[in-house]
């Protein structure tokens, strides 16, 4: 369960339907070209919050069928609808996903007892293990050291996808819970997290930049911080260019440049203009 995990994208056609051929190509590209250790399936990068339960299940099936046991698979099953979250947890456990993950419940101002009950309810229904997905900037849910500790009292909750720039809290978590899995969630801050001895990273840009991500992680583990910093600089040049052009559609266009049938993003995300498509190809040529 340690290493570099791609937050997997999904290929959709112009009508917003799953492009199975393209999704399979994305899976294989991550495994065979980017050489990642695992896939984080149906997270926000996969446009999870824009698709139906049936589409989520189909994506889980296709990814498992294509990846098999080649890499570790984590199923993001989090939902504001607890019944859907439990249903997806059961479904992916039956598919033999290696672990589950769930974003903290958002939008409504849930208190911590409600958040804890959400995770405990999901895990009471399955024989699997859970990675908490903490991304305060998008959910509005911030948890402190003691609250993470309360979640970890459930032995099935084995770690956190930590997508926050709070390195003080990250260091405190690493010190307090050495046996729990901590994954960095900000690609542009991978080096900073790696020197705090995280167990791995889960990232969107690993769909096209997984090889560099591994270099950063392994160099930091070896104490070669200056070398790792140089690779992080290259990575951040790429990330800055992608963000300036439009995150998800630009990654998909770069994948197309690399021969992967990445499709388009679902509405209300807008497609790239012809100028931005050309810019995405220029980014691929310059930075990859």
- Is residue 276 among the annotated active site residues? no
DSSP state of 178: T
- Is residue 64 among the annotated active site residues? no
Whether the link from the prior residue into 101 is cis, omega within 30° of 0, is no
Query: Within the chain, what is the greatest distance between any pair of CA atoms?
Result: 52
Which pLDDT value is given to residue 116? 98
Q: Using one digit for the tens of pLDDT, what is the confidence trace for 249-260?
A: 999 999 999 999
- Which residues, 6 or more positions from 288, have their beta carbon under 8 angstroms from its beta carbon? 208, 209, 238, 254, 258
Of the candidates 229, 269, 263, 232, the one whose C-alpha atom is nearest the C-alpha of residue 247 is: 269
Which pLDDT value is given to residue 268? 97
User: Which residues in the chain show pLDDT less than 50?
Assistant: none
Which pLDDT value is given to residue 195? 97
Full-prediction pTM beyond 0.95?
yes
Numbered residues of the known binding site: 44-45, 163, 185, 187-188, 202, 204
Which pLDDT value is given to residue 177? 98
Numbered residues of the known binding site for pyruvate: 45, 202
Q: Do the Cβ atoms of 190 and 221 come closer than 8 Å?
A: no
Which pLDDT value is given to residue 287? 97
* Residue of 40, 118, 119, 133 with catalytic role: 133
* Residue of 64, 161, 215, 256 with catalytic role: 161
Which pLDDT value is given to residue 279? 98
Numbered residues of the known binding site for aceneuramate: 44-45, 163, 185, 187-188, 204
Domains and CATH numbers, the chain: 3-224 (3.20.20.70)
Which pLDDT value is given to residue 83? 98
Nearest-angstrom CA–CA distance, 68 and 63 = 8
């Amino acid at each position: 369960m340690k290493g570099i995990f791609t937050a997997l994208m999904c290929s959709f056609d112009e009508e917003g339907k799953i492009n199975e051929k393209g999704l399979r190509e994305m899976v294989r590209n991550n495994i065979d070209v980017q050489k990642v250790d695992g896939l984080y399936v149906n997270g926000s990068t996969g446009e999870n919050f824009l698709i139906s339960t049936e589409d989520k299940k189909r994506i889980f099936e296709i990814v498992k069928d294509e990846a098999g046991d080649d890499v570790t698979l984590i199923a993001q099953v989090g939902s504001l609808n607890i019944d859907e979250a439990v249903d997806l947890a059961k479904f992916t456990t039956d598919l033999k996903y290696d672990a589950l993950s769930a974003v903290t419940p958002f939008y409504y101002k849930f208190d911590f007892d409600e958040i804890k009950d959400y995770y405990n309810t999901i895990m009471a229904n399955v024989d699997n293990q859970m990675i908490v997905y903490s991304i305060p900037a998008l959910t509005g849910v911030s948890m402190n050291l003691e609250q993470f500790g309360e979640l970890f009292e459930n032995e099935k909750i084995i770690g956190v996808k930590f997508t926050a720039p709070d390195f003080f809290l990250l260091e405190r978590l690493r010190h307090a819970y050495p046996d729990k899995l901590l994954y960095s969630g900000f690609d542009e801050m991978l080096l900073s997290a790696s020197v705090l001895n995280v167990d791995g990273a889960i990232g969107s840009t690993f769909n096209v930049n997984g090889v560099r991500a591994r270099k950063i992680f392994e160099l930091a583990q070896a104490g070669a911080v200056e070398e790792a910093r140089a690779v992080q600089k290259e990575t951040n040049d790429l990330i800055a260019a992608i963000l300036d052009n439009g995150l998800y559609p630009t990654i998909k266009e770069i994948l197309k440049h690399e021969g992967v049938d990445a499709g388009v993003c679902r509405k209300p995300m807008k497609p790239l203009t012809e100028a931005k498509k050309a810019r995405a190809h220029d980014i691929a040529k310059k930075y990859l």
